[in-house]
Amino acid sequence: MPVTSRPATILEVARDAGVSKTSVSRYYSGERERLSASMQQRIVQAAERLGYQPNPMARGLKGGPSGLVGMLVADIRNPFSVAVMHGVEQACRRQGLSLMVCNTDNDPTLEHRNLSLLTSYRIEGLIVNAAGRHGDALAELAGDGLPLVLLDRSLEGIDADEVGLDNDRAIDMALDHLTEQGYRRVLFVTEPPARASSRQARMARFEANHASHGLEGEVLSLELGDTAGLDHGLSAFLDTSDGHPAAILCGNGQVTLAVTRALQARRIPLGDTGLMGIDELDWCQLVTPGITTLAQPTDAIGQAAVDRLRARQAERATPEPRHERFTPTLIPRASTCRSGTEDLDTTPDETRP
Amino acid sequence: MPVTSRPATILEVARDAGVSKTSVSRYYSGERERLSASMQQRIVQAAERLGYQPNPMARGLKGGPSGLVGMLVADIRNPFSVAVMHGVEQACRRQGLSLMVCNTDNDPTLEHRNLSLLTSYRIEGLIVNAAGRHGDALAELAGDGLPLVLLDRSLEGIDADEVGLDNDRAIDMALDHLTEQGYRRVLFVTEPPARASSRQARMARFEANHASHGLEGEVLSLELGDTAGLDHGLSAFLDTSDGHPAAILCGNGQVTLAVTRALQARRIPLGDTGLMGIDELDWCQLVTPGITTLAQPTDAIGQAAVDRLRARQAERATPEPRHERFTPTLIPRASTCRSGTEDLDTTPDETRP
DNA sequence: GTATCGAATGGGAACGTTCCCATCGTAGGC
DNA sequence: GCCTACGATGGGAACGTTCCCATTCGATAC
């Protein structure tokens, strides 16, 4: 069964098997039950012999199912996105679907272009983890009946299924943990929330709830590349030493990276100054003395996204959109362990292989 | 120009513009010069009005160019692969090509399946960064005239273009650096080289050249998950303390991660025991005291891969395969700085934004 | 003035499927 | 033993392109 250059056509298989092309088509379109055993056998044999593979182009042209799921990713270099993508992919595989991933590099133009690309290939569902400035295009697609799942984002004006972290829960868990560890002041660092709803949600929850946890809270919002602003913001926060133990909470993995760099540059030891991040990354355990994180169940999130897609496909009638929120796992490490408190976790863990 | 559900067909545009479908087809097939100005104008207007987008399915059916490049990635979670993929993608974009990425998860079955998927979509070129057990399938494709580029791998029996690191050069640079820093014994840790030629190349070069650098050399080859084996191997190497300064050289980024974990678990401070890795990663600067790496020019590699593809497409006659090898950049940090030597780099660098 | 040519355009047959509809048995109901 | 019905199968028209081959028309060459 070679992957040949000029693949055999359904007609050739039919001839070779001495049956009609319709029958061969039926065999490959999941209507095998309708075929007699002998015919099925002749078809497989002929197909095997000729190395036949259905041509998805022709199939897609006629309107048949493509078996293709599309995914729009805002930033392929974001480990969280990649982890979820991996989950999505596994789930697709289990369902016999193929995944076509497009990276938008946070560029609305590219996003639009990739969207057209995907739709032109007659995808059966779309998973979106991108900025979505062009919400209108997405909305239209959803309106046209394309199953749509928003990953880690909401988009105003779009009533699509959503899958992602339980942001409120995550922030509460972080605040709980920081409180327990004896911190009194917390700086929440986030990328500009305007473009992503999850950032907004986390920030809003932080602002709403830090006080009730007995914490003084501040928010620092800036672009990832703005190291000067970050330095300045951290200084401003940390230098206000009213004696209350201070911690920094990072809104996502990328922020954790930037903040860790900034703290190291200022040679601020972690622990007395607390550091905690949303998103677990390879290196969080390695940076002395280990960085406390809230790990997202990325595989489960990916799986859930695909499940939603299937569900949508199944029910022809569009039900009210469903939101699925996952609870993170707290991975406590010594970056949120003030000296004087007992060591939390100085032996390396094995959270990731 | 909406991404509509029932896109306009070329025929509708033709009717609307009052021209023939052939003319519209020509307009979109890069034969605009052949059309009169007035006709061109009428076509764009009609297309605009109807939101026309050529249907790649139909186009692909008839055999026209797909504008699609395929990429097979062995492990989407490998940051190096992702970095190169990003380079490939940027290059494709510049060329007006779209990229379709498939992850094989190091699974030969999946690899084969994805290969069929890609070829069935009539890709114009294929970039492979995967194990390639099914070299036969690849070879056949290449033989059939599909432009093929092997990324960071050679495949026996396949005369395809290759793009990747200059492994010999990289190893030599590493050995030079380690020698200069005063290490006398070096352990080269690698994943099993059987499945990837670049691993083989690096290992071979290490074995061939360590002696001429005045270094005692050993090789440790194991699966990434084999932490016990790694612990044992590291112990064996480090406990043979004949007083000669020892260093560990990691064959790729994943190995660097595993080794760093193992060393931290054993609480071995870096520097006196040297540590150096091929592949630069986000966190290498962050792990105390900073890990020396050889950074691969991933964007350039990706770009080169696409360039090779285009070149192949252009020349109808298949020339002898060309191999493009890139020199890495040494990023010296304190993990290869023995105490007593001057500090190399204790201030954080800004190699990556 | 006619023949030739090339540039601009159009008609229709593919490409490989799916799917509607027709055909053909054959078994069961009367 | 005839009519019905149903199960198994086949023929052919679409799907939206591209591309080969006309066709038209003015201009240039004889």
**pLDDT tens digits, one per residue of B249-306:** 999 999 999 999 999 999 999 999 999 999 999 999 999 899 999 999 999 999 999 9
Q: Which amino acid is at A211?
A: A
pLDDT at residue A122, rounded to an integer: 85
Question: Distance (Å) from CA A187 to C1' C29?
Answer: 84
Q: pLDDT confidence of B4, banded at 50, 70, 90?
A: very low
DSSP B8: P
Distance CA B256, CA B259 (A): 5
Return the CATH number of the domain spanning residue range A68-164+299-326.
3.40.50.2300
Q: Give the dihedral of Cα atoms A341, A344, A347, A353; nearest 10 deg.
A: -160
Strand-pair category, B329-331 with B292-295:
antiparallel
- CATH architecture for the domain at A167-296+329-336: 3-Layer(aba) Sandwich (3.40)
Model confidence pLDDT, tens digit, residues B202-247? 999 999 999 999 999 999 999 999 999 999 999 999 988 777 899 9
Contact B115 A3 (CB under 8 A): yes
Q: For the beta carbon of residue B10, count every other beta carbon within 10 angstroms.
A: 21
Alpha helices in A3-154 (DSSP H): 10-17, 21-28, 37-50, 56-62, 79-95, 108-120, 135-143
Q: Which residues contact B27 (CB under 8 A, 6 or more apart)?
A: B35, B40, B43, B44
What are the C-alpha distances in Å from B88 to residues A74, A185, B281, B309, B322? 16, 45, 19, 11, 18
For residues B152-164, average pLDDT: 83
pLDDT at residue A135, rounded to an integer: 67
Q: Which of A4, A119, A283 would you mutate first to test chain B, the one with the most B CBs within 10 A? A: A283
If you measure CA to CA, which chain A residue comes closest to B75?
A: A86
Distance CA A291, CA A274 (A): 9
Q: Which residues contact B20 (CB under 8 A, 6 or more apart)?
A: B14
Chain A residues lying within 8 Å of B286, measured CB to CB:
257, 260-261, 264, 283, 286-287
pLDDT at A351 over 70: no
pLDDT at residue B348, rounded to an integer: 47
The residue to which tokens 């990229």 are assigned:
B99
Q: pLDDT confidence of B344, banded at 50, 70, 90?
A: very low
Same fold, B68-165+299-326 and B167-295+329-336: yes
Q: Which of B282, B345, B351, B352 would you mutate first to test chain A, the one with the most A CBs within 10 A? A: B282
Q: pLDDT confidence of A5, banded at 50, 70, 90?
A: low
Residue closest to A188 by CA, chosen among A293, A261, A276, A272: A276
B232: enclosing H helix or E strand:
helix B227-239
* Nucleic strand C within 7 A of Cβ A20: no
Question: Distance (Å) from CA B96 to C1' D25?
Answer: 37
Strand-pair category, A68-73 with A98-103:
parallel
Min Cα–Cα distance to chain B from A58, Å:
6
Dig out the tokens for B133 from the structure: 């057990």
The residue to which tokens 């300064």 are assigned:
B245
CA of A22: nearest nucleotide by C1' is D10
For residues A30-56, average pLDDT: 89
Q: Class of the B68-165+299-326 domain?
A: alpha beta
Question: Distance (Å) from CA B31 to C1' D29?
Answer: 30
CA of B12: nearest nucleotide by C1' is D16
Strand C nucleotides, any atom under 7 Å to a protein CB: 7-12, 14-20
- CATH of the structural domain B167-295+329-336, one choice from 3.60.21.10, 3.30.930.10, 3.40.50.2300, 3.30.10.20: 3.40.50.2300
Chain A residues lying within 8 Å of B101, measured CB to CB:
101
Min Cα–Cα distance to chain B from A277, Å:
15
Q: For the beta carbon of residue B93, count every other beta carbon within 10 angstroms.
A: 18
The residue to which tokens 């105003």 are assigned:
A156
Question: Distance (Å) from CA B20 to C1' C1?
Answer: 34
Residue whose CA is minimally distant from D15 C1'? A62
Cis upstream peptide for A289 (omega within 30°): yes
What are the C-alpha distances in Å from A110 to residues A72, B87, B92? 10, 15, 12
Contact B5 A61 (CB under 8 A): no
Residue closest to B248 by CA, chosen among B194, B344, B174, B197: B174
Q: Which residues contact A263 (CB under 8 A, 6 or more apart)?
A: A234, A248, A270, A273, A275
Query: Could you say which of A61, A89, A100 has the minimum Cβ distance to residue B58?
Result: A61
Query: Is 2.40.50.140 the CATH classification of the domain at B10-54?
Result: no
Q: Which amino acid is at A317?
A: A
Distance CA B208, CA A347 (A): 38
Q: pLDDT confidence of A352, banded at 50, 70, 90?
A: very low
Residue whose CA is minimally distant from C14 C1'? B62
DSSP B7: P
If you measure CA to CA, which chain B residue comes closest to A96?
A: B113
pLDDT at residue B297, rounded to an integer: 98
Strand blocks (E) in B244-303 = 246-250, 274-278, 292-295
For residues A340-351, average pLDDT: 49
pLDDT at residue A183, rounded to an integer: 95
Query: Could you say which of A61, A224, A350 has the minimum Cβ distance to residue B61?
Result: A61
pLDDT at residue B31, rounded to an integer: 85
- Show me where the domains of chain B are located: 10-54, 68-165+299-326, 167-295+329-336
